[in-house]
Chains A and B, each alone.
Chain A
Amino acid sequence: MRMIWKRPKGEGTMYRVMIIDDEKAIRGLLKSSVEWNQLDMQVAGEAESGIEAINTIDEIRPHIAFVDIKMPFMDGIEFSKFAIKRYPNLKIIVLTAFNEFEYARQCIGIGITEFLVKPINRKEIQTVLEKIRKELDAAIPEWPEAELEPSCSTTAEKIKEYLRINYTCPDINLTSTAMEFGFNANYLSRMFKIETGVSFCDYLFARRMEKAVEYAGKKMLMYQAAEKVGIPDPNYFGRCFKKYTGKSYSEYVKNEE
């Protein structure tokens, strides 16, 4: 269920920005070279890859996303296609190197808001962001807050079942699941939490990590385990694994011996 909620801009509203780029330096440069506060914006989150972004976007809930076009595992165009389908109000700014520009141009028409050519020019970013802010000010698409309807635990069970089967899909996340079941994402998130006591994201994360631990026990190579559990970006997977087990994947495999 995709809805557009619009409401006039109120006092203190900050637009949320997400930066998706595989280079830490570029992310840092973006963060430091823009006066976000003056634009009523804040960098709400970053992702090192499209895969990571899919998994975190529902929590970050951005209005604007910077997406690097050239990333391993899932390139910026591919990610944008997903994102536009799931978050129709999201403003996407694609970052592209000069020699990739032709490639990027092929994607005009899929709904990408702006293109920016690297190396990043502070003035250009400023201009683009001001333009986008005006668009957002005119009608703020809001991440909807939904009233919790009386629901039954069977729905939550169904969703759990769905996740147990589909956790290997790298593009699955809260919004895609909500769309699948015909709910709005916010509602699903709250309902799931109430019914199961765990957040949707934690549940999916735990399912994947349980499986990852199992693979680590079998001494599977990390990038292969990453792919098998639906996080085909081994860097992000590695961080997830460490967060879950407290050890890096290779340490875990070593300790198993």
Chain B
Amino acid sequence: MEKKSTFTKRRKLFARFSSLQLGKKVRYLFLFIIGVYLILFVLIYSFFVRGNLSEYASQKNLNALTSISGNLMSEMDRISDMSILTMSNDAVVTYLNNESETSARNSKDAVNALHDMMNVYEGISSVYIFQIDGDYVSAARNVTFASPDMFKSAAWNQDLIKKAGGYVLSINGNGLFLLKNDVDGKPRDVITFLRVINDLNTQKPIGYLAVNLPISILVGTYYDHTDGDSKFAYFYKDRFLSGDDLSGEFAKLSGSDEPYKQIVVGSWGDERILSYYDIADTPFTIVSSESFYAGEMISTEVAVLIISMIVITLAAIILISAFISFYITKPIKGLVHSMDSVAKTGGLQKAKLSLPDDEIGHLKNRYNMMLDEIDGLFKELITKEKKIRNAELSALQEQIKPHFLYNTLDTLAFMANEAKAKEVYDAIQTLASFFTNFLSDGSIEIPLRTEIQIVKDYLKLQKYRYGDIFDDEYDCDEKYLEMKVPRLILQPIIENALYHGVRLKGEKCIIRVSVFEKENTLHIVVYDSGIGMSGEQIAAIMKSNEYDSFGFKGTIERIRYFCDTDDVYEIRSQVGIYTEVDLKIPLTSAREIIKWNTGENDMEEAKGGGNDV
């Protein structure tokens, strides 16, 4: 279920990406590449650079710690050398050998020897020589009290004895010394250097030498290493002695038996190496915390290289993006825009873009060629359609076989005449005339005179049907009656006038046809005094969806096609009073003049129809 939903989610995401615009797609792609770049960079850093870096830093850190412990040991070795000199001092030996009867002089000499030692080695806080029983002499810079009572305990010097002449380091002599308050009123711990003094001859212990050193001597051991971010601290067993506050780090590291330990802590970009180092033969531990970062590891040259690579990559991406935009996206957009305008307007405008001679340029050229081809096809189709129409029309005329109809009508007329039915004879004659002109041998264009004759016959026949409900009048300029017009442009308008104007009025009306020229336009006006039309009715008449080539709309369309202009009619009306349809045929165009001439030539033929106007 969950799998399915992630699948559909992924598919949706892909679909959304697919439907993005090309420019956006490219942008998202580059964003993705940059993202991959960054992730790769981070991974490389995390798994390789960082590993090397921490290894290097750890080594460096270990070196520092070793060096610090070395410093301390050499300090102690110096003290040791000094102490050996002091131990072999005659005054000191005398003092220790005459343990039972220590004279004031002896002890004074010993003290002098101690003072000498202190003078040579300035870092010493105090020096003590203890006899085995606890008596002592000392030279001190006012720091400590001795408390030799502890000598009575058997165990106190075990460490010393183990060392067999070596020295033992401790803090405050593990209780041998009590601290005095320092100048600031606080006691200050000392490092106690303690060793056994043996008799030269018997090699038996005859006393002890203790040297107290201030804690501050420890600072000198790591001072050289405290650069920048590195921190050091000394611990005595679990107790903080000196240095930076690293108690927390100490707590993290201590607890193992190993004398040396390193761990790396912190998150990416803020990592530190924590180390723990037990100094051999001493109770001291050094704890360090050192940060390491790329800058330490990566040289300036490498950094410059990396940064310039990133910059070059970004620049390349921008360049490619610009390239794609300029050479691919923009031209395609332009092309699409051009195609859209074709889709919207329906006109076959070619794409007018100047494009380089590459694939997109070819695409444009192909597209334009395609438009040409479509245009050609359209034209071909129209020509074909016209041909088919003409063929159909002539086929239709063949079917009508009007001669049979005319002959029959003639026979009927004769019969009516014989029966002295004058009115019937007239009616049949009118019908025959009407049909002859109405069909006009299927001509698409006929003389205006014939057109008007059709109207006259039509109205006469309608009077037979509906009675004397109108008078028809004609006011035509002879000059224009031979001009050719599309067949049956007047009859449909007259029919409209009769059925939608005159018959609805219930009173006798007038239907008048006028033909005149005005401003180079031929006007054929059909007037009727019927019920008229409202503005809405006039507007609706051309909006009707019904298409019938001999309805009003179809008739207007045929005239428009004939005149090659849209402005071919006008309807004027007053509700209840009249309607006037004004057909306007421009006389100016060259085409009309040709028609006019051919009209003259066809005069004979038109008259051959036998119609009087």
B464, B499, B506: the one within 8 Å of A237 (CB): B506
Q: A221-B576, A223-B576 are known contacts. Are A72 and B503 too (CB-CB below 8 A)?
A: yes
Inter-chain contacts of B464 with A (CB < 8 A):
25
Cα A32 to Cα B503 in complex, Å, equals 26
Residue B507 interfacial (CB < 8 Å): yes
A141 in contact (CB, < 8 A): no
Say yes or no: A238 contacts B504, CB within 8 Å.
Answer: no
Residues of A with C-beta under 8 A to B576: 221, 223-224
B161 CB, min distance to chain A CBs, angstroms:
134
Q: Is the CB of B465 within 8 A of A223?
A: no
Contact of B531 among A23, A223, A233 (CB under 8 A): A223
Select one of A22, A23, A24, A235 contacting B506, CB under 8 A. Answer: A235
Asked whether A23 and B507 contact (CB < 8 A) given A72-B499, A224-B576, the answer is no
Determine if B505 and A223 form an interchain contact, defined as CB atoms under 8 angstroms apart.
Answer: yes
A250: chain B residues at CB < 8 Å are: 507
Cβ of B268 < 8 Å from any Cβ of A? no
Report if B248 contacts A (CB, 8 A): no
- What 1/0 mask marks residues of chain A from 234 to 249 whose CB sits below 8 Å from any chain B CB? 1101100000000001
CB distance from A101 to the nearest CB of B (A): 17
- Measured between C-beta atoms, what is the minimum distance from A243 to chain B in Å? 14
A162 at the interface (CB under 8 A from B): no
- In whole angstroms, what is the CA distance A235 to B531 when docked? 13
Secondary structure class of chain A's binding surface, majority of residues: helix
Chain B binding surface SS class: loop
Contact mask for chain A residues 124-159; partner B; CB cutoff 8 A; 1 contact, 0 none? 000000000000000000000000000000000000
Known contacts: A221-B576, A223-B576. The answer to whether A238 contacts B465 by CB under 8 A is no
Q: Interface readout for B484-527 with A: 1 if CB under 8 Å, 0 if not?
A: 00000000000000010001111100000000000000000000
User: Please, how many angstroms separate the alpha-carbon atoms of A234 and B576 in the complex?
Assistant: 12
Identify the closest chain B residue to A70 (Cβ). B499
Nearest CB in chain A: distance from B400 CB, A: 16
**Shortest distance between the CB of B416 and any CB in chain A (Å):** 16
Is B467 part of the binding interface, using a Cβ–Cβ cutoff of 8 Å?
Answer: yes
Tell me, yes or no, whether B14 is within 8 Å of chain A by CB. Answer: no
Residues of B within 8 A of A224 (CB): 576
Q: Is B466 in the interface zone, CB < 8 Å from A?
A: yes
B499 pairs with A234, CB closer than 8 A: no
Known A72-B499, A221-B576, A224-B576; judge A234-B467 contact (CB<8 A): no
Residues of A within 8 A of B503 (CB): 72
Residue of A nearest to B467 (CB): A24
CA A56 – CA B605 in complex, angstroms?
Answer: 55
When the two chains form the complex, which single residue of B465, B504, B507 contacts A72, counting CB atoms closer than 8 Å? B504
Across the interface, do A249 and B507 meet the contact criterion of CB distance under 8 Å?
Answer: yes
- Which residues of chain A have C-beta atoms less than 8 A from B531's C-beta? 221, 223
Whole-angstrom distance from the CB of A254 to the nearest CB of chain B?
12
Residue interface mask B102-114, A partner, CB < 8 A = 1 = 0000000000000
> What CA separation (Å) do A250 and B466 show in the bound complex?
20
Contact A234 B465 (CB under 8 A): no
Q: Of B466, B499, B504, B505, which contacts A23 at CB under 8 A?
A: B466
Scoring A residues 43 to 74 as 1 if CB is less than 8 Å from chain B, else 0, what string do you get? 00000000000000000000000000000110
Name the distance in Å between A237's Cβ and chain B's nearest Cβ. Answer: 6
- In the assembled complex, the Cα of A219 lies from the Cα of B464 at a distance in Å of 31
Q: Which residue of B lies closest to A73 (CB)?
A: B504
Return chain B residues, CB-CB under 8 Å to A226: 506
**Cα distance A76–B505 when bound, in Å?**
20
Closest Cβ–Cβ distance, residue A48 to chain B (whole Å): 10
A238 & B467 in contact (Cβ 8 Å cutoff):
no
Q: How far is it, in angstroms, between the C-alpha of A24 and the C-alpha of B503 when the chains are bound?
A: 14
B505 surroundings in chain A (CB, below 8 A)? 222-223, 234
- What per-residue 1/0 map shows which CB atoms of A99-121 lie under 8 Å from chain B? 00000000000000000000000
Report whether A222 and B504 are in contact in the complex, using a CB–CB cutoff of 8 Å: no
Give the CA-CA distance A224 to B530 in the complex, in Å: 12
Inter-chain contact A223/B467, CB cutoff 8 Å? no
Which residues of the partner chain B approach A223 to less than 8 Å between Cβ atoms?
Answer: 504-507, 531, 576
Bound Cα distance A24, B464 (Å): 9
Chain A residues near B504: list those with CB within 8 A.
72-73, 223, 234
Q: How far is the CA of A234 from the CA of B501 in the complex (A)?
A: 12
CB-nearest residue of chain B relative to A23?
Answer: B465
Is there an interface contact between A234 and B466, defined as CB atoms closer than 8 Å? no
Q: Which residues of the partner chain B approach A237 to less than 8 Å between Cβ atoms?
A: 506
Q: Are A238 and B466 in contact (CB under 8 A)?
A: no
Chain B min CB distance to A22 (Å): 8
C-alpha spacing A73/B466, complex, angstroms: 15
Q: How far is the CB of B287 from chain A (nearest CB, A)?
A: 106
CA distance A24 to B505 in the complex (A): 18
Q: Which of B465, B506, B507: most chain A CB closer than 10 A?
A: B506
5 extra interface residue pairs, beta carbon distance < 8 Å, beyond A25-B465, A72-B499: A223-B507, A223-B531, A224-B576, A226-B506, A234-B506
> 14 A-B contacts, Cβ less than 8 Å apart?
A24-B467, A25-B464, A72-B499, A72-B503, A72-B504, A221-B531, A221-B576, A222-B507, A233-B506, A234-B504, A234-B505, A237-B506, A238-B506, A250-B507
Q: Which 9 A/B pairs are nearest by Cβ-Cβ distance?
A: A234-B506, A221-B576, A235-B506, A238-B506, A223-B505, A23-B465, A223-B506, A222-B506, A223-B531
